[in-house]
A and B are shown apart, each in its own frame.
Chain A
């Protein structure tokens, strides 16, 4: 399926991250996946949101200035970070115990595909592309209370990333609850995809035309 001829004004990655961040309530414990999801931390403003990193940290703060780097403090993406006052450190079993035990309010993940039943594909393109690696994606997908996916609505070639059934290898079954794309916000419900919000100037029909599964009105 290729993209319809009309060209939409789409959100930037930063705008997508800001749109998602606007929906995170104060007090939530949140894990941000590697890549675009990490941008979300820049947009929670004054709300106290506690960010988790898989390598055993709660209360992750912003990136340090070069002169203030603490060499023993990295995130799961192996970048230097800071800790907020109130932060805590723990071992990898506790770190994944809090994910798998359903204590984490939200995981924000990237995605290759999300199916209308909430299935997520985000760890492998199947063709042994760069050697397999999974990290914590399957634990986050199966364990967090909410799984929100932040991704472009379509692939570079215009194919819908919101599908009736995933074609790439699955990460987790039926776990995605909401999708933030560069044109829309879509809830994943027992009835399938429900349009919740659109980017400025984008209509329901625009979103449906770029979605290979059925889109429902809220």
Chain B
């Protein structure tokens, strides 16, 4: 019998070691796996490279991870929020690395990794600072830059519903980067608001098929807070 559910966050994060590259789902605080992030901070994992749209922004335990120096580098499009200068201060002091990526290029690099596409050309960022140093080619009259697929060791995601095969669904704006990250990491760990029986989600309702998912932990924590 396939059962990807694990009893708690500790078991979900087993073998997540120092030096790990982590993809983190969520846009702002919606679809963010808060308790997995709490668990990561509590476990004391260090040397983390964090790939997330708002990596660096002060949501939940991201603050602890940044303050304790557990995060070595972030790969993201928007590493700040109105309520906090934490990331900007660390960055100015040279205490954290940053690879700034346009949001669509970030999403597509993740999707490409998931789909086995090693690299792709895009006009986004061509001729700008964020395209500097990358291979360029004019395609159909437009300047493009070569972007590499973005892989991770671990993906930490949040779902609305999950079954024991690891099939997932998401709620409203909670989908964001979660489905594409599921396929771009070697180990995909999901926290879910609701645990459902096999077949309770119809095949049409499954947004991420369980093939991409390794571990699921049931955490009915309630609504996100901005």
Interface residues on B, range: 35 or more
Q: Does A56 contact B (CB under 8 A)?
A: yes
Contacts of B224 in A (CB 8 A): 71-72
Q: Does B30 contact A (CB under 8 A)?
A: yes
Q: Are B103 and A136 in contact (CB under 8 A)?
A: yes
Contacts of A138 in B (CB 8 A): 102, 104-105, 124-125, 128, 130
Q: Does A150 contact B (CB under 8 A)?
A: no
Q: Are B175 and A56 in contact (CB under 8 A)?
A: yes
Q: Are B180 and A92 in contact (CB under 8 A)?
A: yes
| B79, B87, B124, B171 pick with most chain A CB within 10 angstroms | B124
Contacts of A96 in B (CB 8 A): 103-104, 107-108
| A72, A73, A96 pick with most chain B CB within 10 angstroms | A72
Q: Are B124 and A92 in contact (CB under 8 A)?
A: no
**Minimal Cβ-Cβ distance residue in B for A78:** B28
Contacts of A28 in B (CB 8 A): none
Distance from A152 Cβ to chain B, minimum over Cβ atoms (Å): 22
Question: What are the interface flags for B103-132 relative to A under an 8 Å C-beta threshold, 1 for contact and 0 otherwise?
Answer: 111111011000000000011111111100
Q: Does A55 contact B (CB under 8 A)?
A: yes
Q: Does A15 contact B (CB under 8 A)?
A: no
Q: A71-B225, A131-B87 are in contact. Are A93 and B108 (CB under 8 A)?
A: yes
Q: Tell me the bound Cα distance from A76 to B177 in angstroms.
A: 13
Q: Tell me the bound Cα distance from A100 to B126 in angstroms.
A: 13
Question: What are the interface flags for A85-127 relative to B under an 8 Å C-beta threshold, 1 for contact and 0 otherwise?
Answer: 0000111110111011000000000000000000000001000
Q: Does A26 contact B (CB under 8 A)?
A: no
Q: Tell me the bound Cα distance from A73 to B176 in angstroms.
A: 11
Dominant SS among interface residues on chain A? loop
Q: Tell me the bound Cα distance from A71 to B111 in angstroms.
A: 27
Q: Does B98 contact A (CB under 8 A)?
A: yes
Considering only residues 37-66 of chain B, those with a C-beta below 8 Å from chain A are 53
Q: Are A91 and B128 in contact (CB under 8 A)?
A: no
Stretch of A165-173, A181-189, A203-211 that contacts chain B? A165-173
Q: Are B173 and A73 in contact (CB under 8 A)?
A: yes
Distance from A86 Cβ to chain B, minimum over Cβ atoms (Å): 15
Q: A96-B107, A142-B126 are in contact. Are A72 and B223 (CB under 8 A)?
A: yes
Q: Does A137 contact B (CB under 8 A)?
A: yes
Contacts of A56 in B (CB 8 A): 27, 173, 175-176
Contacts of B87 in A (CB 8 A): 131
Contacts of A100 in B (CB 8 A): 104, 108, 122-124
Interface residues on A, range: 35 or more
Q: Are A72 and B174 in contact (CB under 8 A)?
A: yes
Distance from A135 Cβ to chain B, minimum over Cβ atoms (Å): 5
Contacts of A128 in B (CB 8 A): 92
**Minimal Cβ-Cβ distance residue in A for B100:** A132
Checking A57, A97, A124, A135 against B129 with a beta-carbon cut-off of 8 angstroms, the contacting residue is A124
Q: Are B180 and A93 in contact (CB under 8 A)?
A: yes
Q: Tell me the bound Cα distance from A170 to B132 in angstroms.
A: 11
Contacts of A93 in B (CB 8 A): 107-108, 110-111, 179-180
Q: Are B27 and A169 in contact (CB under 8 A)?
A: no
Q: Does A159 contact B (CB under 8 A)?
A: no
Distance from B71 Cβ to chain A, minimum over Cβ atoms (Å): 15
Contacts of A73 in B (CB 8 A): 172-173
Q: Are A131 and B77 in contact (CB under 8 A)?
A: no
Q: Tell me the bound Cα distance from A80 to B226 in angstroms.
A: 9
| A57, A93, A170 pick with most chain B CB within 10 angstroms | A93
Contacts of A45 in B (CB 8 A): none
Q: Tell me the bound Cα distance from A83 to B172 in angstroms.
A: 10
Q: Does A5 contact B (CB under 8 A)?
A: no
**Minimal Cβ-Cβ distance residue in A for B28:** A78
Contacts of A218 in B (CB 8 A): none
Q: Are A139 and B126 in contact (CB under 8 A)?
A: no
Q: Tell me the bound Cα distance from A43 to B79 in angstroms.
A: 32
A/B interface sample: 8 pairs, CB < 8 A: A78-B29, A92-B103, A96-B103, A132-B100, A133-B79, A138-B104, A138-B128, A169-B128
The 6 A-B residue pairs whose C-beta atoms are closest, nearest first, are: A96-B104, A139-B104, A131-B88, A71-B223, A138-B102, A72-B172
